Amino acid sequence: MFLNPLLLLGPTAVSVPIIIHLLNRRKFERVVWAAMRFVNVAVQQNQRRVKIEDLLLLIIRCVLIALIVFALARPAISGAGGFFGLPKTTAVVLIDNSYSMCQVEGASNKFEQAKRVADAVIDALPRGSSVAVYLASDVATPVIEMPTFDLAAAREAITKAQLSDRSSNMLPPIQRAVELLQNQSAVRKDLYLITDTQQHGWKQTGDIQKLLTENQREIKTTVLLVGEPEQRNLGVSDLKIAGDLPTMNRPVLFNVQVTNFGAAEARDVPVKVSVNGEAESDQAVIDAIPAGGSKSVTLSVRFKKEGYQTVTARINKDVLPADDQRTIVVRALKQVNVLIVDGDPGREPRDAKSFYLREALQPVPPDLRENFYVQTRIVSTGELESTRLDEMDAVFLANVTDLAPTTTTAIERFVKNGGGLVIMPGATASPNYYNEQLGRRLALLPALLNEPRGDASQAARFWTFQTKHFDHPIVALWGEGSVGSMASAKFFRTYDLELLPAKNIGGTDAGTPRVVATFNDGKPAIVERTFGEGRVVLFAVGADTAWSDLPVRPQIFIPLMHRTLSALVQRQDESINIRVGQKFVYRMHDDVLGKDALIKRNNDEKNVQDSRRVEAVNNVPTLTFDRTDNAGAYTVNFGADTAAMFATQPDAAESKLDGLTQDQTQQLASASHVIKYTAGMNVEQALKKEQIGTELWLPLAIIALAIAATETLLAHLFSRSK
């Protein structure tokens, strides 16, 4: 291959010394001279030697000119080009912008290094090449979607590229790049991936190796690795409300989990929590977190106003700033309204099936109930038909036998639209109604009520709650071991609950049932499922003491009812805390249907706002927003009014900065050319060397210089008087 193929016309210059030589052989005029015979004798004696000397000099000069011409044409071997130089290339450049790329190294982070390397890649492309640029995380985000010949525009786009808080998975971006190149008709196709050495993004190395190997003859892949693995990193890996109700003017507890992603134990880790970006509400110090381990602390905040609030937990900054804080959005409530439907009110308050339930939900003296954050209203089954459910956050059915068809429909609509429903059936319940209407027909129930087991009159025979494996958030408190045991409650007679499968009813999803708690024999005691925007919790016993002594165990019953209520209320707001990159889908009020909402990321220095229209989805006004690549809180406004807030949280697995394993590196190297970028490295030169191969102009120039010196020496020797 010759990089300057036009100079190959230069060997015609070899004819110059030959022409001069031939011209010097012109005929001479004869002149009679008396001493000529002596000259003839000398010429005849040296003629053969002179001819050999002249011919040798002629050959040397021709070779010298040929070598100079070939050196100027820049020959190379083992490169990627053809005989007449490098062909035009169609390239795709992938730049990793997952949040591990914000790792700080020296004065900049790895993403800035990657952008500099991307600039060098474009500079190394042959003249006339085209390039497409994508940002790579767990998806491929186009910066320049289709290959362009305007390389200056590509450089500018790279300069403006921004980090995201997405996780990394290199397979989807590589698949997109290969697909794009397969549809191009270029002679040469190149794929450049610029990423860090993080192991997490290469979970599917085998699939990547297979894809690149299958296309190796058509597409040449180069992987440029920036940065170094990091053995020290702490991150806030989780933040959630601690089974509490997010109400105003009282301490609300939050669990903050901090994970040590490093290789050594971390000690004395300060953790802080704040509301709406104000001064810290609470703080604590974790004494030690083992390598690879996590520790949680419970911190409290106080909401001063009603509505959407941000809660942020943070630790001290380290090499990976992206995971040093985590923000969630909470909808603070002035109070929680609960409707209790009593299946048998009784003559006296203590005889009512709802007596213990109300006492548990409002565990304060009667004169303080009016200002308590949980407000209860008790109605009979008959009164339920005329009760407005849209004013309630949750409905408890306490030993209710059955409901009228219109009431059943109202309950179904209430839960579908985000309400919470708790069913504590008891002895007076009609299993046929619950199973056929709420279970099989509407799929509201998470389980069927099979034949009760046990005998309530036999106090010596009973079941208890489980003693371990408290995995569900409602009962997670008892897994911590700080509030006693749930096993002290006794159950003499219970329904045998049979879990129902997930189902879709008329476009409404009835989720897969989850067991909240079991009896000591493994049978379900409490189960729940989501239904539309709401949640349903089903107990195997009633709310009275006919079948169990649970209601008279306040150390269990009170926190259990409050945590159940919290799970119902939080279901309404589950959609306001999502993963980074997840689509935000939110149910809006009817009065904003068809209007445009302005969505802005809080603390965005550029103050960029996106507009989205509220559209009807299944006859429900719905706002959809998919630009959620950055972590933190977002505000939804209609004009000057805040309609909603939501927050996105990054994938904590991206915080583990371990480097590629030896097997991953070998798999990658077998299907691509891997270049490890180091500070001060000339990437453009390294890539051009790979494209061109070994250039021969320097050795040719050295040989030409040696031949020139030889020619000069011989010409001097041959020209001396003989």
Give the total residue count for the chain. Answer: 722
Q: Is the pLDDT of residue 5 over 80?
A: no
Q: How confident is the model at residue 69 (pLDDT cuts 50, 70, 90)?
A: confident
Least confident of 37-51, 151-165, 225-239, 338-352: 37-51
Least confident of 48-52, 483-487, 515-519: 48-52
Strand partners, 135: 95, 141
- The answer to whether residues 320 and 236 touch, using CB atoms and an 8 Å cutoff, is no
Q: How confident is the model at residue 84 (pLDDT cuts 50, 70, 90)?
A: very low
Q: What pLDDT, on the 0 to 100 scale, is given for residue 713?
A: 83
In a domain, 83, yes or no: no
Q: What pLDDT, on the 0 to 100 scale, is given for residue 86?
A: 55
* Residue-wise pLDDT tens digits, 509-537: 999 999 999 999 999 999 999 999 899 99
Strand partners, 371: none
> Are residues 37 and 110 part of one domain?
no
In a domain, 84, yes or no: no
Q: What pLDDT, on the 0 to 100 scale, is given for residue 609?
A: 87
* Residue-wise pLDDT tens digits, 665-692: 999 999 999 999 888 888 877 776 665 5
In a domain, 384, yes or no: yes
Q: Is the pLDDT of residue 76 over 80?
A: no
> Are residues 506 and 546 part of one domain?
yes
Q: Is the pLDDT of residue 35 over 90?
A: no
In a domain, 491, yes or no: yes
CA dihedral 76, 78, 83, 87 (to 10 degrees): -100
3-state secondary structure of 529: strand
- The answer to whether residues 134 and 176 touch, using CB atoms and an 8 Å cutoff, is yes
> Are residues 244 and 226 part of one domain?
no
Section 216-221 average pLDDT: 93
Predicted TM-score (pTM) of the model is: 0.80
| Cβ contacts of 21 within 8 Å, gap of 6 or more | 54, 58
> Are residues 74 and 203 part of one domain?
no
> Are residues 190 and 100 part of one domain?
yes
Least confident of 9-18, 155-164, 371-380, 414-423: 9-18
In degrees, rounded to 5, the angle at the alpha carbon of residue 182 between the alpha carbons of residues 148 and 175 is 95
CATH number of the CATH domain containing 159? 3.40.50.410
Task: Tell which residue, 143, 154, 213, has the closest CA to residue 178.
Answer: 213
> Are residues 207 and 308 part of one domain?
no
Q: What pLDDT, on the 0 to 100 scale, is given for residue 13?
A: 59
- CA distance linking residue 217 with residue 364, whole number of Å: 77
Least confident of 199-203, 277-281, 398-402, 598-602: 277-281
Section 327-354 average pLDDT: 90
Q: How confident is the model at residue 565 (pLDDT cuts 50, 70, 90)?
A: very high
Supply 610's token pair: 């996106």
> Are residues 364 and 285 part of one domain?
no
> Are residues 312 and 165 part of one domain?
no
Q: What pLDDT, on the 0 to 100 scale, is given for residue 74?
A: 64
Which one is predicted more confidently, 394 or 80?
394
Q: Which residue has the tokens 């004819």?
A: 15
In a domain, 405, yes or no: yes
3-state secondary structure of 253: strand
Q: Is the pLDDT of residue 379 over 50?
A: yes
Average of per-residue pLDDT values in the chain: 89
Q: Is the pLDDT of residue 2 over 60?
A: no
Instruction: Determine what percent of the chain is predicted with pLDDT higher than 70.
Output: 89
How do beta strands 615-617 and 620-625 pair? antiparallel
Q: Is the pLDDT of residue 427 over 50?
A: yes
Q: Residue-wise over 378-406: b if at least 16 C-beta within 10 A, else e?
A: bbebeebeeeebeebbbbbbbbbbbbeee
Q: Is the pLDDT of residue 54 over 90?
A: no
Q: Is the pLDDT of residue 597 over 80?
A: yes
Q: What pLDDT, on the 0 to 100 scale, is given for residue 686?
A: 76
Q: Is the pLDDT of residue 26 over 80?
A: no
* Residue-wise pLDDT tens digits, 109-147: 999 999 999 999 999 898 889 999 999 999 999 999 999
> Are residues 415 and 525 part of one domain?
yes
Q: Is 632 left (phi over 0), alpha (psi -120 to 50) or beta?
A: left
Give the residue from 572, 596, 627 where a domain finishes.
572
Backbone angles phi, psi at 195, to 5 degrees: -150, 175
> Are residues 503 and 445 part of one domain?
yes
- Give CA separation, 407 vs 95, 213, 386, 569, in Å: 57, 63, 9, 22
CA-based Rg of the chain, rounded to a whole angstrom? 40
The domain of 20 spans 5-78+697-718
Give the residue from 633, 649, 665 where a domain finishes.
649
> Are residues 473 and 342 part of one domain?
yes
* Residue-wise pLDDT tens digits, 305-336: 999 999 999 999 999 999 999 999 999 999 99
Maximum pairwise Cα distance, the chain: 164
> Are residues 177 and 201 part of one domain?
yes
Supply 61's token pair: 């000069």
Q: Is the pLDDT of residue 11 over 80?
A: no
In a domain, 108, yes or no: yes
- CA distance linking residue 598 with residue 483, whole number of Å: 46
Backbone angles phi, psi at 697, to 5 degrees: -65, -35
* Residue-wise pLDDT tens digits, 267-301: 999 999 999 988 888 999 999 999 999 999 999 99
Q: How confident is the model at residue 263 (pLDDT cuts 50, 70, 90)?
A: very high
Q: How confident is the model at residue 437 (pLDDT cuts 50, 70, 90)?
A: very high
Q: What pLDDT, on the 0 to 100 scale, is given for residue 22?
A: 64
Q: What pLDDT, on the 0 to 100 scale, is given for residue 187?
A: 81
- The answer to whether residues 266 and 260 touch, using CB atoms and an 8 Å cutoff, is yes
Q: What pLDDT, on the 0 to 100 scale, is given for residue 83?
A: 45
Q: What pLDDT, on the 0 to 100 scale, is given for residue 631?
A: 95
Give the residue from 333, 348, 367 where a domain finishes.
333
Q: Is the pLDDT of residue 40 over 70?
A: no
Q: Please state the domain count of the chain.
A: 5
Q: Is the pLDDT of residue 42 over 70?
A: no
- CA distance linking residue 602 with residue 637, whole number of Å: 12
Q: How confident is the model at residue 694 (pLDDT cuts 50, 70, 90)?
A: low
